[in-house]
Amino acid sequence: MELEDQWWKGQLAADIYEALRYKELKLPSYKGQSPQLSLRRYFADLIAIVSNRFQLCPAARHLAVYLLDLFMDRYDVTLQQLHMVSLSCLLLASKFEEREDRVPKLDTLNSLGCMSSMNLVLTKQGLLHMELLLLETFQWNLYFPTAAHFIEYYLSIAVQEGDLHDGWPMTSLEKTKLYMAKYADYFLEVSLQDHVFLHFSPSLVAAACVAASRLILHLSPTWPPRLLRLTGYTWEILVPCAEKLLMAHDSDVKEANKQKCPQPSQQQQQQQQQQMTYHSSGPSAAVPQYLHRPSMQFPQQAPQPGPAPGLRPASYLGHSAGSLQAPAGPQHSTSQAITASLDPKASVPSRAYQVSVHYPCAAPCFDR
């Protein structure tokens, strides 16, 4: 179901969007009852690694993970079989979403370094058998909208000329759109890493990715009327999903800062622990307060190092196609983020984005 580039600008864009919204109402129910649910993160990362290796589109990657989730939810599958199921899901999704010449070939898959570490050799007969089993499970229907199918439509109006950054007019609309696309892509990948996002509709997850990106970029209003009209979601409806996305972002930033900064002395650790104990004494400490104030103004603060807009959930960035190790048993991948500082002009201060009450990080600064 590959669509032409910039389909959201065509005359049929509204009809395509409405068809996707209608189809998501009929998505199969997900109960999260797989006995191997603790291994789900590993296999989602495996799909992401192979998908990136073949430069498949986000829609194919998201569809593959969704097929895997549905299959695991219905069957008790062994660890060795899950490797075959994961790759078969990716092949089916790429055949559905990509051009024929971009679908991974059997020989190329077997040549990947991760295949030897998993002690797995794919055969044509084995793949055909697994693909047939998957198709029969889904009644030969792979038309399942995911958040990746909606995100480009929402990004088409996610940033416009009238938006403000920290209360100031933007001087570079194209630069702002670039940051928005990068952060939306990051949050889209975050949504793949936890099955909890399957409890939200795909269009809502995509809208929450845009809302979280606008928060980080300090764009106001955070959820403008045009996005409300296009998506049909109010800010209050988006808060639960956006909160989970931002918490994951907060965790990635903290992990990146730990790797980038030297270990503090014992005295500094004690002071930080005391501050954390003090701040967490109230119930509001666990929930980012900015989520409940969509029209808030962001105060100017001193410059701080922060993540680049290309920050991605790094559960699979720390691996390559040749280094991914198969799990010996139930486990969760640890998040490690790759960050870099932006280089704003010396005369322009960065604005700190308060991810939580404990860990501030800097939002990208736009030239004025």
Identify the band that residue 13 occupies on the pLDDT scale cut at 50, 70 and 90: confident
Q: What is the CATH number of the domain that holds 76?
A: 1.10.472.10
Domain boundary among 98, 120, 144: 144
Query: Is 357 within a domain?
Result: no
Query: Is 320 within a domain?
Result: no
Q: What percent of the chain has pLDDT over 70?
A: 67
Domain containing residue 92: 28-144
Q: Which residue has the higher pLDDT, 89 or 320?
A: 89
Tell me the pTM: 0.71
Domain boundary among 95, 123, 144: 144
* pLDDT tops 60 at residue 308: no
State the average pLDDT over residues 69-76. Answer: 91
Same domain, 36 and 130: yes
Kindly list the distances between the CA atom of residue 218 and the CA atoms of 91, 323, 338, 351, in Å, as whole numbers in the listed order.
39, 38, 22, 8
Give pLDDT tens digits for 139-153. Answer: 999 999 999 999 999
Same domain, 201 and 254: yes
Q: How many structural domains compose the chain?
A: 2
Same domain, 39 and 139: yes
